[in-house]
Amino acid sequence: MAVEDSGTGIVDAAGRKMHRHEIEKIFELGYSNRENNDEGGEGLGLNWVRTIVQDLHGGTIHAENTDEAGARFVVVFPPISQAPDMENAERKAKEYLRQFQIQHEADAEIPIPAEEQRPAPK
């Protein structure tokens, strides 16, 4: 399955299109291309997608910039006969959530200076 758009493509914090070897880092936990991240992103979404596709369903995902403009994400799932069993997938999902919770709790213990805190959503 491929999803493609016609936007700016996959860009770094300076707005430059990322090279193929740089794009892989968009799937890292906490990655954001926003320098000050004022728009509310935590850098979780694509990491979660990769975890769901790879770890829970045994598939693959990759991203690329298109030649024209925009980005393309390609997801490949294995045949149903080769898909991971649901019990194993559920165990992996619980472990992933536990690790995320541990990290989130550790991050919450670090005081954030008032000038860096985001206003509460309305």
Domain positions in the chain are: 2-108
Sheet holding 60-65, edge to edge: 2-4, 71-76, 60-65
Nearest Cα to Cα of residue 83 among 58, 61, 50: 58
List the end-to-end C-alpha distance of the chain, in Å, as a whole number: 37
* Total-model pTM: 0.66
pLDDT digits (tens, 9 = 90+) for 54-68: 888 889 999 999 988
Q: In the chain, which ranges are continuous DSSP H helix?
A: 20-23, 45-50, 86-108
Query: Can you give the pLDDT at residue 63?
Result: 95
Query: Can you give the pLDDT at residue 113?
Result: 58
Query: Can you give the pLDDT at residue 64?
Result: 95
Low-confidence ranges of the chain (pLDDT < 50): none
Give the chain's largest Cα–Cα span: 53
Give dist(CA 88, CA 54) in Å, integer: 13
Query: Can you give the pLDDT at residue 111?
Result: 59
pLDDT digits (tens, 9 = 90+) for 95-115: 877 877 777 676 666 555 565
Query: Can you give the pLDDT at residue 12?
Result: 86
| Cβ 75 vs Cβ 60: under 8 Å | yes
**Summary mean pLDDT of the chain:** 80
